[in-house]
């Protein structure tokens, strides 16, 4: 059984969805510390004036001292971020070939007034996965698997991953390449779990505004290639 464990992110790039596609079980790692300069609440889209950030304002920004888990981060509802994000998406992608097909999905989510960052980004990620054609992956949250409470959350990083993998019955762990710097591979091997590192080597696809940028949000690929999006991620369409 293939498993991927990643922190929830806002409209992430295609590499994130490639990992979802490869996973039998995908675990949203929602009970680890929130990182304020990461991808939990922001991502980039292309515009005629260059790439811009779409950032969801939050009430707790997180720090080393605060140790706030992602699932406890609340969205700042006093800010009109939903409308601004939707306007930016409209202005940037109205002329995209598949805009009319996928815009209603994003508009529906951006009309909501969510309180929880994790709840919002996880639900949107699952919806985007289905829009791309991912149907077989089962989604769970790490907080749902932490039966022993906070004690399991303070395990060393690799130990915690092994614990989660064990709880979902995984035999094969698929990780991003950056994890080579910290992953204790011997612990996975001892637990009988094989390891695979992702290789992000994707073909170019048409974009509205040059130069080509391979790392923007998945919505750029979806608006530009529609049902063929999988061809530019895992190499085929299902």
Q: Give per-residue pLDDT as tens, 6-47.
A: 999 999 999 999 999 999 999 999 999 999 889 999 999 999
Average pLDDT over residues 213-227: 97
Q: Is residue 103 part of a domain?
A: yes
Q: At residue 149, does pLDDT exceed 60?
A: no
Assess if residue 126 is contained within a domain.
yes
Contacts of residue 14, defined as CB under 8 A and 6 or more positions apart, other chains included, come to 202, 218, 221, 229, 232, 233
At 47 the pLDDT is: 97
**Contacts for 201 with CB less than 8 Å, ≥ 6 apart:** none
Confidence of residue 150 (pLDDT cuts 50, 70, 90): very low
Residue 173 lies in a domain: yes
Residue 238 falls within a domain, yes or no? no
Region at 72 (left for phi over 0; alpha for psi -120 to 50; beta for the rest): alpha
Q: How many domains does the chain have?
A: 1
The whole-number pLDDT of residue 61 equals 58
Q: 106: which 2 tokens?
A: 């994003």
Q: Would you state the pLDDT for residue 82?
A: 96
Q: Is residue 89 assigned to a domain?
A: yes
Does a structural domain hold residue 114? yes
Q: Is residue 159 part of a domain?
A: yes
Backbone torsions φ then ψ of 225, nearest 5 degrees:
-120, -10
Pairing, β 42-45 against β 52-55: antiparallel
Q: Are 132 and 19 in contact (CB under 8 A)?
A: no
Q: Are 132 and 105 in contact (CB under 8 A)?
A: no
> What's the pTM value of the predicted model, to 2 decimals?
0.93
Give the pLDDT of residue 151: 42
pLDDT of residue 237: 67
pLDDT interval class at 152 (50, 70, 90): very low
Bond into 113 cis (ω within 30): no
d(CA 1, CA 174): 10
Q: Is residue 237 situated within a structural domain?
A: no
**Predicted local distance difference test score (pLDDT) of residue 156:** 76
pLDDT averaged over the chain?
93
pLDDT at 32: 92
Average pLDDT in the 115-136 region? 97
- Three-point CA angle 24, 27, 30, nearest 5°: 170
Structure tokens at 121: 């980004």
- Tokens read off for 147: 């039966």
Q: Which domain holds residue 152?
A: 2-232
Whether pLDDT at 63 is above 90: no
Please indicate whether residue 238 or residue 114 has the higher confidence score (pLDDT): 114
Q: What gap in Å lies between CA 196 and CA 175, rounded to an integer? A: 6
């Amino acid at each position: 059984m293939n498993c991927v464990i990643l922190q929830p992110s806002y409209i992430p790039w295609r590499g994130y969805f490639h990992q979802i596609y490869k996973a039998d079980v995908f675990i949203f790692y929602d009970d680890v510390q929130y990182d304020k300069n990461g991808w939990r609440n922001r991502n980039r889209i292309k515009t005629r004036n260059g790439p811009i950030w779409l950032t969801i304002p939050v009430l707790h920004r997180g720090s080393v001292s605060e140790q706030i888990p992602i699932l406890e981060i609340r969205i700042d509802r006093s800010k009109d971020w939903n409308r601004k994000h939707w306007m930016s998406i409209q202005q940037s992608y109205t002329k995209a070939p598949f805009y009319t097909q996928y815009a209603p999905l994003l508009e529906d989510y951006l009309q909501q007034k969510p309180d929880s960052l994790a709840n919002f980004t996880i639900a949107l990620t699952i919806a985007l996965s289905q829009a791309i054609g991912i149907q077989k992956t089962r989604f769970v949250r790490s907080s749902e698997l932490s039966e022993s409470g906070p004690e399991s959350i303070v395990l060393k990083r690799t130990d915690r991953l092994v614990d989660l993998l064990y709880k979902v019955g995984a035999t094969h762990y698929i990780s991003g390449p950056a994890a080579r710097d910290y992953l204790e591979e011997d612990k996975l091997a001892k637990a009988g779990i094989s390891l695979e590192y992702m290789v992000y080597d994707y073909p170019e696809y048409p974009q509205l505004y040059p130069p080509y940028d391979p790392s923007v949000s998945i919505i750029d690929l979806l608006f530009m290639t529609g049902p063929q999006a999988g061809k530019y991620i895992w190499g085929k369409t299902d």
